[in-house]
Structure 1
Amino acid sequence: MQTYLEPTQESGRALFMRGIAGSVVMLNLLRYRAVADYSATPQLAPPTPITGEAAYRLYMEHTMPHLEKSGGKLLFFGRGGGFLIGPSDERWDAAMLVQQSSLTSFMAFASNAEYLGGMGHRTAALEDSRLLPLEESGW
């Protein structure tokens, strides 16, 4: 089973080639690990094992000040589950909508060294994820 936790160079290039003007909303779909895996960042690991969901909460606590400082905001965070329309064997534990004023501000946020210092919580937390940049189009 292929998993997706980080963007590729190609997907980053394609995002910028879209030429999104104005704000961008990122739709995040998240599937947590049963137990967080801190093997890549043991220095961030809590003293006792925690769930992937708890590790993601640590990631969000670390992330929110950096997101807000960059001009971004959390629009929605909610629990997921099975699809009403979609594959019956696919589930997402949570969905999140994050707005940034522009792709430039998103990239500044995503490359901020202080923010990146807590990314290990996200990696430990997630079994799989999706990130879909959304551009307002109106009717």
Structure 2
Amino acid sequence: MNKEQINVLREVPEDQEVVMLNLLKYKDKVEETGLTGEASYKQYMKAAIPFFEKIDAEIIFFGRPLLTLIGPEDETLWDDMLLVKYKNQGEFFKMVSAEDYPAKLRERSLQDSRLIYCKSQTK
């Protein structure tokens, strides 16, 4: 995240839920541990769940994309995707800035990723 992106997210009203789409591409092997990136990410999720629970965030979906129905047929799919709903942007920032939040574990598990802020169109 760059400063401009952070500022845009901080401007989201406190009474608005924030949904984050995580697109994940795992490393084949994590040098520090010898684990696969997928196995290492599972460790991250286990360590991160208490942080989600502390702020009452909800994991809406965690799974693997299997097939592109509309779009380029030769496009490589992400390994996994994760949708997380937060009460508001403040709770998201509280979680990711918590002292023991396992951000390094997440980072070293991934070859590539996207974290995309999504806004509901139903409200």
- Normalised to the residue count of structure 2, the TM-score between the two structures is 0.87
Question: 1:26 aligns to what?
Answer: 20
RMSD over aligned Cα, in angstroms? 1.8
Moved over 4 A (4+): none
- Normalised to the residue count of structure 1, the TM-score between the two structures is 0.78
Aligned AA (1:113) = E
SS at match of 1:113: coil
Matched, 1:106 2:92: yes
Instruction: Give distance in 2, aligned partners of 1:37 and 1:10.
Output: 32
Question: 1:4 aligns to what?
Answer: none
Question: 1:79 aligns to what?
Answer: 64
Paired residue total: 122
Q: Unmatched 5+ residue regions in structure 2? A: none
Instruction: Give distance in 2, aligned partners of 1:92 and 1:104.
Output: 28
Cα deviations across residues 36-68 of structure 1 (Å, max 9, x unaligned)?
A: 243xxxxxx4xxx11000010000000000111
Match of 2:35 among 42, 50, 54: 50
